[in-house]
Amino acid sequence: MKSVLNNAGQHWNHTLFWQALSPRSGKIPGVLEKKIIADFDSVAASKESFKAAALGQFGSSWAWLVLSGNGKLAVTATANGSNPLATGEGTAILGLDVWEHSYYLDFRNRRADYVSNFLHLLANYDFGEEQLTKA
């Protein structure tokens, strides 16, 4: 049963992840930016929190920006094929694959650089805002 959950989770996680990437990343759209500032104090603080979650989870994992049940944005990380839907931590706004296969070819063991690259150059914040506004 656990293998079914992990494989289904990985399918769900990657489906969201592909949409969370964009060649036109950069500026965070207004609704999402306002919510990030309200809940993290600043965009920089939210990115540092996300990065800490991505780096703090040992082994194969995922990092998430979620809308928690209390209505606030938060960051979390899940192991293997799990996700915030499975753990009940909230609605996924953005997710980042931090399995080694996702970054080793380009970044070797520099997971921190991979996460920074995502946050500053690849994250699809327009998609994130869509997830936020329909949650």
Q: What residue ranges bind Fe ion (CB under 5 A)?
A: 97, 99, 102
Identify which of residues 22 and 68 has a Cβ nearer to Fe ion in the complex.
22
Identify which of residues 57 and 68 has a Cβ nearer to Fe ion in the complex.
57
Identify which of residues 9 and 90 has a Cβ nearer to Fe ion in the complex.
9
The least distance separating Fe ion from the CB of residue 53, rounded to whole angstroms, comes to: 17
Please give the residue whose beta carbon sits closest to Fe ion in the complex.
Answer: 97
The least distance separating Fe ion from the CB of residue 62, rounded to whole angstroms, comes to: 9
Instruction: Please give, one letter per residue, the 3-state secondary structure of 7-65.
Output: HHHHHHHHHHHHHCECCCCCCCCHHHHHHHHHHHCCHHHHHHHHHHHHHHCCCCEEEEE
Beta 91-97 vs 61-67: how paired, if at all? antiparallel
The least distance separating Fe ion from the CB of residue 98, rounded to whole angstroms, comes to: 9
